[in-house]
Each structure stands twice: as structure tokens, then as C-alpha cells.
Amino acid sequence: MANTVEQIKAPISEEMKLFEQKFYESMKSNVALLDKVTRFIVTTKGKQMRPMFVFLCAKLVGDVNEKTFRGASMIELIHTATLVHDDVVDESFKRRNFFSINALWKNKIAVLVGDYLLSKSVLLSTDNKDFDLLSVIARTIREMSEGELLQLEKARKLDITEDVYYEIIRQKTATLIAACCEVGVLSNNVDEATAKKMQEFGTYTGMAFQIKDDLFDYQTSNIIGKPVGIDIKEQKMTLPLIYTLKNASPENYKKYFATIKRYNNDSKKVRELVEFVKSSGGMDYAIQTMKDYQQKALAILAEFPDNEAKESLKLMLDYVISRKL
């Protein structure tokens, strides 16, 4: 899979190297504590899939330019801010096998660092009069917040339908990938129709990405390092589970709903529910839905002329649904 990531990066490898420096510069501050935290953020970064989307979408319709780099930095600033805030909300002390910021510097500093990163993202666009990018960024922040709150509201009653689930993952996950793709093409000043098309491409890709994430909960943990059934223990209603409960007999529905509601810490009952989801076609249904989103994204890509960036975006779509973590 590492090879795949390198293949995807091939047309933008120089830009990605340059981006690391520009991203670090975009976070700089006169406050020593902030600089210490942002240095830590840069050294513990992930695969940087989001900037890759920005650069590839820019190259799909033109060249990477200074506006593209600003757009990629804006997206990564937002993404990092939401991860920092998420760790506070989830009371999580680990992030990518490193301690999280709230674990090292406590919640108060983590919240303020997240706020600082969001403000830097907005300033990067206003300082350069990139108002088209600012519009995308503002909408993205709003939607991500709405998605989180919708999930929290629904989680209390566990009454998440398939439609509500799609709306939550569209706002929570897909909206940021959609923003990457829209920002990428906007950096080459494309027309509104092209920007909308790439936003849709990113939305479909993001939906497939999140469904893949939710499928990991029903797969063996030795590959992904995540215990099986962790979402059930956290009472997260994901697509395989929603489908299974919707199609279960009243007797099974009652039994397994009780597992989620009351016995979510009983490992034996959780394992039994995981097996029930598998045998009831919940996983198969989710896999098919994920592939449908992939096909919708590919159909949009097909409308663009062939080039290296287009091939990399196709590889990225394959990677999204076949990755092992």
C-alpha cells in the first residue's frame, strides 16, 4: 500500500516537499508556546491525503501555483484544528501513536491552539484576497461542526436512519475532501460548473472513505490495530449496523438494540453482534454502497481530459476503498 501512496504522489512529489515548508510557515507565531506546539504538529503529521487532493485537482485542470499552495495550507490548517478539537471532545490522549496535544499540554491549550489554527486558515485567504477559497473554507467549517452536533444529538437516542447516517458522514468527513477538490480547481480560476463538479467528486470520495473506515469495526484487529467492535462499544451507529437492525426480525432487533444500548461493554455480547452483522449481510451492503460512491466519483473524473493527475486520482479512489488502515 505504501507503493500506492508513492504512485499517487508521483505527479506532485516536488509540490508535496515544498508544501511541508509552506505549511509550517503558515502556522508560525510570535508566541513561543504556540511555536512549540505547531512544531510538534508538523513532526507528527499523517499521510497528508488532503493536500494531495488539492494538488492533484489543481493539476487536473492546470498548474500548481501559489494560490494552490495557500489553498492546501488552508485545508490542512482546518483539518489539524478539527483533530486537535476532536481529541479534546473525545478525551483522547493518543493520535497516530503519538500523545495528543491535550495529553501533553492539557485541554485549555489544545482548544486555544485549535482556534489559532482556524484563524490562520481564514487570514491566509483574506490577506491574499482569495475570497473564493474563503467561501469554501467557511462553509466547510460550518458543515463539519453541524455534522458533529447532528451525530451527538442522534447518538443519545440511537435513532440514526440510513439517510441521517449519510448526512452525518457527508458533513463530518466528505465535506473536507470536497473542499480539497474544489479549492484545487479554484486555484486555477475555473468556472463555477467545474468547481461544483469537483466538489461532488470530493463528496463521493469522502463518503466512500468514511464507509471504509466504518467497515474496519467488523474486521480482524491485527491488521488495523483497532479492536473489533469498538464503534459498538462507543454506541456509534454505522452503516453495517443500521442496515442489519433495519432488516432484523423484531426479536433480533430487540436483542441487539439492547446490546448497543445497555450491554455495549460486554465483550461477548458485542462479538455476537459483530458476527450477526456479518451473517446478515450488513457488511456486504456497506461494501456495495461504498463501491457505488466510488463509481459516481469515477464518472465525474471521466469528464476530464486524460493526464497524470487524473490517473493519480483514480489510484487515490482505489486506495480509499482498499486501504488496510
Q: Give the DSSP H or E segment for 233.
A: helix 230-233
Return the ∠ at Cα 19 (arms to 52 and 135), rounded to 5°. 70
Interval 155-192: pLDDT, tens: 777 878 999 999 999 999 999 999 999 999 999 999 99
Backbone φ, ψ for residue 95 (5° rounding): -145, 115
First-to-final CA distance of the chain: 10
The single-letter DSSP state of residue 172 is I
* Residues facing 94 on adjacent strands: 99
Interval 85-134: pLDDT, tens: 676 666 655 555 555 666 556 677 778 888 888 888 899 899 999 999 99
Which residues, 6 or more positions from 217, have their beta carbon under 8 angstroms from its beta carbon?
Answer: 226, 228, 229, 230, 231, 232, 238, 240, 274
Q: Which domains does the chain have, with CATH numbers?
A: 2-209+294-322 (1.10.600.10)
For position 224, what pLDDT does the model report?
44
* Per-chain mean pLDDT for the chain: 86
What is d(CA 19, CA 227) in angstroms, rounded to the nearest whole number? Answer: 34
Interval 207-259: pLDDT, tens: 999 999 899 888 755 444 455 777 888 888 899 999 999 999 999 999 999 99
Mean pLDDT of 285-306: 96
For position 223, what pLDDT does the model report?
47
